[in-house]
Structure 1
């Protein structure tokens, strides 16, 4: 299976709290819900739907797993059933089994090694949503195969970023780019190399 990230991001790289004001207030973040204004963008909805419709499941960090599932189980509706029925792999060294939501499998201990083993199993893509800490732990090891990023025309100036300062230099191949009517840029990126300080960024 491939590991594919699907996330909203701002022009300055923030991924924290896109959906709701109270989604993630860590470090005093007060700008949550920044993606909601364009959340009804048909092109964004289609792009996410196409990917998730052919998914083998979700790979999530503890916080995203607990927040997303709790939110949608409280909200109800078809999205709740889709999340509950889909296999979920939860990377955490603090949670214990049994996990609270159906079809959930705990990955603990050496999580990058567990994910590497998971990638060897047959199936379609596993999708990471949110889960910034998990992404930052897997990406430098070459365990993420693709990113579908919806970049919003916003600069927030604060918040947790997808690739923080000090992240290993990485070049990407841009596989597909789609601008939308609301100004969101939907782009698919595939990592090409992680060569550290010797990385050569060539056109």
Structure 2
């Protein structure tokens, strides 16, 4: 058992108007007919990759909602099987939250969280010995925030306004104080802000 609770660190690409939907690929969210898929140009900014890499130093595991888990599998394992990031994601322990208790995961080193997600994550935080990294997974993150289970947020705020799309901090997001721990402005104008979440 871990000596101290592990951290939950949320990493999100956001537009200036707060949209987090489908940042990576043009066809990332065809289910909702979203026409701005791939807006982040994430792979074009090496500083963003360095920041994400730094946050994973010292050991980490992936925590993801089912949709994001499947998007990551499609974007990396299916489309880029020889990429170093694919190997990293394949090798790492992955915890998947799904409302379907019979969901069958497709990636090795994956575990389906049992029962209600927030209760399962609260238990993981006490017992797991690595930082839990969350990419995307907006619905899961909102639930975790409602229960004070998010410790840090790394928000990558891009200089683009979409005017539509799913907003990360939508109506119903709980009141949360964020303490800025670090910030970087990349050469492409992306603001990378690392926040500590303060509860209570």
TM-score by length of 1: 0.89
Classify the secondary structure of the residue corresponding to 1:39: helix
Check if 1:147 corresponds to 2:153. yes
The range that moved more, 38-47 or 132-141, is 38-47
Structure 1's 25 and 55: CA in aligned 2 closer, same or farther, altered over 3 A?
Answer: farther
Quick one: which of 5, 16, 40 aligns to 2:10? Answer: 5
Deviation at 1:98, TM superposition (A): 4.9
Quick one: which of 52, 66, 69 aligns to 2:73? Answer: 69
TM alignment of 1:81-160, pairs within 5 A: 81-94=87-100, 96=102, 98-160=104-166
Quick one: which of 166, 172, 178 aligns to 1:166? Answer: 172
Q: Aligned pairs, how many?
A: 193
Deviation at 1:26, TM superposition (A): 4.2
The range that moved more, 70-79 or 125-134, is 70-79
Moved over 2 A (4+): 25-28, 52-56, 95-99
**Whole-angstrom distance in 2 between the partners of 1:154 and 1:98:** 37
Runs of 5+ consecutive residues of structure 2 not aligned to the other structure: 1-5
Deviation at 1:96, TM superposition (A): 2.7
Q: Is the 8 A contact 1:7 1:130 kept in 2?
A: yes
Q: Is the 8 A contact 1:62 1:95 kept in 2?
A: no
Check if 1:50 corresponds to 2:61. no
* CA deviation string 1:54-101 (max 9, x = no partner): 332100000111121122112212222211110000001226365211
Name the residue aligned to 2:38. 33
Classify the secondary structure of the residue corresponding to 2:56: helix
TM-score by length of 2: 0.90
Q: Is the 8 A contact 1:55 1:127 kept in 2?
A: no
Q: CA RMSD in A?
A: 1.6
Name the residue aligned to 1:22. 27
Name the residue aligned to 2:3. none
**Whole-angstrom distance in 1 between the partners of 2:106 and 2:116:** 22
Deviation at 1:108, TM superposition (A): 3.1
